[in-house]
């Protein structure tokens, strides 16, 4: 690490994953949001909102994400991620209508479809999507049957010596 701020959200998210949301907030406090690029600030806000939710402060997490989304700052993909996180928190809070609207907006900012917003909207609409072929389990292999020339323990049958033949 070169001492830059670019890993602060990653480190904070690791703290969250370890069940230490307060430590995550302390790590995030080290980010100078006035100097950091918009995508980094957005990523930090996403992690902070998650940490707030982990601490039972879901309303504060929603407020942070809603305010950030309303400013419309940053590249489209970063804003799409912000809206996706907002939609996810709304859904966890039981607000399906607002969640769906936020997923739709996130999808508009993600024309390449890197986020699964279309799937999330379809799920909220009650549409059952077919599973991807890549997600299907591999077919089971046929059970191995020993060759007729093998004996019961898998060894080759007795060979006839040339002398016996």
Q: Which tokens belong to 109?
A: 């900012």
The SS3 of residue 29 is coil
The SS3 of residue 7 is coil
Among 86, 5, 104, smallest CA distance to 49 is for 86
Q: Which tokens belong to 5?
A: 């701020």
Q: In the chain, what are the helix, strand and coil shares in percent, each to the nearest 5?
A: 55, 0, 45
Q: For 88-98, how does the pLDDT look when each residue is reduced to its tens digit (9 = 90+)?
A: 999 999 999 99
- pTM score, whole prediction: 0.75
Give residue limits of the domains in the chain.
Answer: 8-127
Q: For 10-68, how does the pLDDT look when each residue is reduced to its tens digit (9 = 90+)?
A: 999 999 999 999 999 999 999 999 999 999 999 999 999 999 999 999 999 999 999 99
Q: What is the mean pLDDT of residues 125-143?
A: 66
Contact 103, 117 (CB under 8 A): yes
What is the structure's pLDDT at 141? 66
CATH class of 8-127: mainly alpha
Angstrom CA distances, 50 to 9, 39, 59, 154, stand at 11, 17, 11, 57
């Amino acid at each position: 690490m070169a001492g830059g701020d670019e890993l602060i959200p990653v480190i904070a998210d690791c703290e969250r994953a370890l069940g230490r949301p307060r430590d995550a907030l302390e790590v995030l406090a080290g980010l100078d949001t006035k100097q950091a690029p918009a995508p980094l600030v957005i990523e930090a806000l996403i992690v902070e909102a998650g940490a707030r939710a982990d601490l039972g402060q879901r309303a504060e997490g929603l407020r942070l994400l809603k305010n950030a989304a309303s400013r419309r700052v940053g590249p489209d993909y970063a804003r799409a991620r912000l809206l996706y996180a907002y939609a996810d928190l709304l859904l966890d809070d039981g607000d399906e209508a607002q969640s769906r609207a936020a997923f739709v907006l996130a999808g508009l900012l993600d024309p390449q479809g890197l986020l699964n917003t279309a799937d999330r909207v379809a799920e909220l609409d009650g549409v059952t999507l077919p599973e991807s072929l890549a997600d299907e389990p591999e077919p089971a292999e046929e059970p191995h049957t020993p060759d007729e020339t093998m004996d019961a323990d898998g060894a080759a049958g007795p060979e006839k010596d040339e002398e016996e033949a």
